Amino acid sequence: MDYYTDVSQSIASDEFYVRMMESTWQCMEAEDPAAKQVVTKLLKDLHGIMQKLSKGGDPVIATKIFRDFDLNQNNALTIDEVTSMLSKLQISVERKYVQPFFKVLDADNSGCVELEEWIAFVCGAV
């Protein structure tokens, strides 16, 4: 932590430092209106695609889709697996928006998206 303290003291603006750290770590310090709009659009886009692929939200098909993207077969989608899913579905997203998007899918904040959360997302309304 001393390194970041030293760096922050050598930068004239706190705002610049925060933006630099967000860029480096690819995560947002706080929710901003633009991020919320991007995340909302991502949710709608993914939900729409999943509705089509699962034939209107069929839980059996949604489960198969989940298992196809659960690369390590641990019954949970990691942030990397969700990022890969977005890429394979040709949904373009800046890396800095993936974490806030993922947090919405991970309703119980466990750090991964379990099958139940996935089914709720695919078969429910957005």
CATH number at residue 71: 1.10.238.10
Mean pLDDT, residues 104-122? 95
Compute how many other C-beta atoms are within 10 angstroms of the C-beta atom of residue 124: 9
pTM equals 0.75
Indicate whether 72 and 18 sit together in one domain. no
pLDDT for the residue 88: 96
Domain containing residue 45: 31-123
Non-local CB neighbours of 85 within 8 Å, separated by 6+ positions: 69, 77
Q: Is the pLDDT of residue 23 over 90?
A: no
| pLDDT, tens digit, 9 for 90 and up, residues 61-73 | 999 999 999 999 9
Give percent above pLDDT 70 in the chain: 78
Q: Are residues 16 and 47 in the same domain?
A: no
